Amino acid sequence: MEKISFKIGDVEIGAGAPVSIQSMTNTKTDDVKNTLHQISMLADEGCDIIRVAVLNKDCANALGEIVKYSPIPVVADIHFDYRLALIAMDNGVNALRINPGNIGSIEHTKKVVEMAKSTKTPIRIGVNAGSLEKDLYEDKTLPLEDKMVISANRHIKILEDLDFDMIKVSLKSSDTMTTIKAYKKMYEQTKYPLHLGLTEAGTLRGGVVKSSVAIGSLLSLGIGDTIRVSLTEDPIEEVKLAKQILQTLGMRKYGVNFVSCPTCGRTQIDLIGLAKKVEERFCDLNLPITIATMGCAVNGPKEASGADYGIAGGIGEGYIFKKGQMIKKVPQEKLLDELEKIICDDIIII
């Protein structure tokens, strides 16, 4: 099935475009100053699209200033009240997250779609396993993932019947395997871009594992066009993890890729502390290189031969290597300074 694409602001979505990262503000949307401050921080971290909650008219009216000054496209998250969608579009929002079946009569839906057509505002249909239609919720014969797909297709049909096709779809559950199954089924049935996410993934440790498995598994199959890692945490952490997922899969490049070996009885240095110091020292280096921190001076360089640069520890001393080749032996306390000097010298030459 040929997939379609469109733009949210200046970000291309779908049909082979790079997978983009989305997050959501946790500020009060009508607090424009703090909302814009958080959006700016998330954009600096690598967020491509931001979603904001539109709870009432004050929030909807605040979108005018937010959209005007936001460095990235803004999506208005709206539930039930179609009038908020109209105000949001009138204020220039770049996309809507709204379920057409949940905003009242078909006349309300028509008003939203007519304006979305005229303003070229895409609509994301957001299906959540915890808020399905009553008949689907009460049906005990269908697996949850099938119910989610049915719900998504119902909402899609409402928009298609109104001749609207700038649609993005999400099917989120708090269960990893249900989420994966739902997206796989939806991918086979739709031409529209898919927004990946695992809802209610939890706090940082558990959420990282669940989201990485769900989102990473789907992306590795070629499924997914935008992603949002949902964590009970500062949204900055969502963006950081999303970047790591995309970089690990080779889909996007975000500066330095850090690798390090696990600790073992052969290690003669504080490998854990050293690896953390390496990341702290070079985390802001905006170069698509790999830096390895290895604990064994004998096998380390060979095991990390795919790294551009690396260090390996010994007793009281360490070794610096490039592309698997040892190039320098230095006292342990000078490892980081010498590594930094070598990388900086190479950057100047390049």
pLDDT tens-place string over residues 233-280: 899 999 999 999 999 999 988 888 888 888 776 676 778 888 898 888
Measured distance CA(29)–CA(264) in Å, rounded:
49
User: Where exactly does CATH 3.20.20.20 map onto the chain?
Assistant: 6-248
How many C-beta neighbours within 10 Å does residue 348 have?
7
Measured distance CA(141)–CA(131) in Å, rounded:
18
Confidence (pLDDT) at 132 = 86
Measured distance CA(56)–CA(78) in Å, rounded:
9
Confidence (pLDDT) at 338 = 86
Confidence at 299, pLDDT banded by 50, 70, 90: low
pLDDT tens-place string over residues 6-34: 999 999 999 889 999 999 999 999 999 99
Backbone phi, psi, residue 206, to 5°: -65, -40
How many C-beta neighbours within 10 Å does residue 220 have?
12
CATH class of 6-248: alpha beta
**DSSP of 110-129, one letter per residue?**
HHHHHHHHHHT--EEEEEEG
Confidence (pLDDT) at 190 = 95
Name the more confident of 167 and 201: 167
Confidence (pLDDT) at 283 = 82
Name the more confident of 242 and 304: 242
Name the more confident of 36 and 252: 36
349: pLDDT strictly greater than 70: no
How many C-beta neighbours within 10 Å does residue 185 have?
18
What DSSP element (H or E) covers 40? helix 32-45
Residue from 22, 84, 73, 27 nearest 239 by CA: 22
Considering all CA atoms of the chain, what is the largest pairwise distance in Å, rounded to the nearest integer?
Answer: 76
Confidence at 350, pLDDT banded by 50, 70, 90: very low
User: Where exactly does CATH 3.30.413.10 map onto the chain?
Assistant: 257-349
Write down the architecture of domain 257-349 according to CATH: 2-Layer Sandwich (3.30)
Q: Which residues pair with 20 in a beta bridge?
A: 226
Confidence (pLDDT) at 324 = 77
At position 49, the amino acid (one-letter code) is: I
Measured distance CA(300)–CA(304) in Å, rounded:
6
How large is the average pLDDT for residues 296-300?
65
Confidence (pLDDT) at 297 = 64
DSSP at 208: H
How many C-beta neighbours within 10 Å does residue 239 have?
25
Q: Which residues pair with 313 in a beta bridge?
A: 318
Distances (CA, A) of 291 to 107, 263, 310: 58, 17, 5
201: pLDDT strictly greater than 70: no
Confidence (pLDDT) at 260 = 84
Name the more confident of 208 and 38: 38
pLDDT tens-place string over residues 119-129: 999 999 999 88
Question: Average pLDDT over the chain, rounded to whole?
Answer: 89
**pTM, rounded to two decimals:** 0.87
Confidence (pLDDT) at 203 = 79
pLDDT tens-place string over residues 215-224: 999 999 999 9
Q: Which residues pair with 310 in a beta bridge?
A: 292, 321
Q: What angle do CA 127, 132, 133 make, to 5 degrees?
A: 125
137: pLDDT strictly greater than 80: yes
